[in-house]
Chains A and B, each alone.
Chain A
């Protein structure tokens, strides 16, 4: 096995591991929403928002790892889409005063982010054969 193949293999493992950590963070994030809505913690703490910023860097890291690990094109696209949707997700609540209907999509967009992350987390952790790299999963 060449050093290039080894790097691709490690990057692939890191990609899947990062996607799985991201899913776990999303679940914790949703639990924090629950703690907030059901009055266990107050909204003034902003834990839900701060936690999003704490793990948000995993989204661009996923795009980077998808590229380095030579993931199938579809997975690279999904990782890029996840990054875009996550960026939109952090922006949507700020529209609550001017465009409340758009801000309300924050919760629906969270489902899309979760679904994309889950799809990436379920990807095989071994490098994909070159013949499959241009197609879908």
Chain B
């Protein structure tokens, strides 16, 4: 089970790094003549990472709180990817894309912090019930 906690932490940290790189790609597009498609394509790939993290919540026994946070991250990322589609009809909604990026960053860092803390904590195994005879021998 501990391996799933390590995986969960690794995937969560990887996502934070991916978000930072994605923002750098946006900067490349705006300031360095980079291709917009690089930012877009990387965004679609990056979108899958929090889904993987969410799938790892259960085998990692991450708990309800971290589970909800991971689910919220998936939702916020889906919103993030969807926002640019409003450019034609509702550009003011599409303009929330960089604002929502802050939310993605904040939530992903929180998930990563807690996932790393969880990975450092060993899983406590439930102690097996002792037979009455064994208890009697001790006394």
A→B interface (CB under 8 Å): 26-27, 30-31, 33-35, 37-40, 93, 96, 100-101, 103-108, 110-111, 114-115, 118
> B91 at the A/B interface (Cβ < 8 Å)?
yes
The answer, yes or no, to whether B28 is at the interface (CB within 8 Å) is yes
Most chain-B CB neighbours within 10 Å: which of A39, A101, A111? A111
Given known contacts A104-B34, A107-B27, what 4 new A-B pairs fall within 8 Å (CB)? A27-B102, A100-B33, A103-B27, A106-B27
Collect the chain B residues with CB atoms within 8 Å of residue A31's CB. 95-96, 98-99
* Top 4 A-B pairs, shortest CB-CB distance: A34-B95, A100-B32, A107-B27, A104-B27
Q: Do A27 and B99 have beta carbons less than 8 Å apart? A: yes
A to B contact number (C-beta, < 8 Å): 78
User: Taking chain B's interface residues, is the majority helix, strand, or loop, or is none over half, making it mixed?
Assistant: helix
A104:B98 contact, CB within 8 angstroms: no
Q: Is B26 an interface position by the 8 A CB rule?
A: yes
**Number of chain B residues close to chain A: CB under 8 A:** 26
CB distance from A46 to the nearest CB of B (A): 15
Q: Can you identify 7 A-B contacts, CB atoms within 8 angstroms?
A: A27-B99, A38-B97, A39-B87, A100-B33, A101-B28, A107-B23, A111-B23
- Contact status A33-B32, CB under 8 Å: no
Tell me whether A35 and B95 are in contact in the complex, defined as CB-CB below 8 angstroms, given that A30-B101, A107-B26, A108-B27 are known contacts. Answer: yes
Residue contact B32 to A103, C-beta cutoff 8 Å: yes
Interface residues of B in 9-60 (CB under 8 A from A): 20, 23-24, 26-28, 30-34
